[in-house]
């Protein structure tokens, strides 16, 4: 069985990637996608990616003009990097608590 970096089983469509949607939305704003519609589409695309629907997430982002693939990768990279960082911090905190017993 495949597992993620924290040892949890990977379940397609449920927990394939750790994504911090708020970080992705901040990156979308920094990239100039700051309209309500653009942020809503970014949120939905990140949510789909988080559930394991990578292709659908990318299509969602690219479905509206003038969005491009490079901006999607920029937003996704920020969201996944922050998500992984937070997951690692939680795992380290949990390990530290286990060590106190």
DSSP tally for the chain: helices H, then strands E: 4, 0
Instruction: Supply the pLDDT for residue 18.
Output: 84
Can you give the pLDDT at residue 99? Answer: 76
- 26-77 pLDDT, tens digit per residue, is 999 999 999 999 999 999 999 989 887 888 899 999 997 788 999 999 999 9
Answer for the pair 80, 17: CB distance below 8 angstroms, yes or no: yes
**Closest C-alpha among 13, 73, 75, 70 to residue 38:** 75
Q: What is the mean pLDDT of residues 74-100?
A: 86
Q: Is the pLDDT of residue 7 over 80?
A: no
Residue 33 near residue 71 (C-beta atoms within 8 A): yes
| Distance from C-alpha of 39 to C-alpha of 25, rounded to nearest angstrom | 6
When pLDDT is averaged across residues 84-91 and rounded to a whole number, the result is 82
């Amino acid at each position: 069985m495949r597992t993620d970096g924290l040892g949890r089983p990977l379940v397609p469509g449920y927990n394939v990637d750790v994504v911090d949607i708020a970080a992705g939305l901040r990156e979308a704003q920094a990239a100039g996608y700051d309209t309500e519609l653009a942020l809503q589409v970014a949120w939905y695309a990140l949510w789909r990616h988080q559930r394991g629907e990578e292709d659908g997430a990318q299509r969602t982002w690219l479905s509206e003009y003038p969005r491009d693939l490079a901006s999607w990768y920029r937003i996704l990279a920020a969201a996944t990097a922050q998500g992984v960082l937070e997951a690692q911090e939680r795992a380290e905190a949990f390990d530290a608590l286990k060590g106190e017993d």
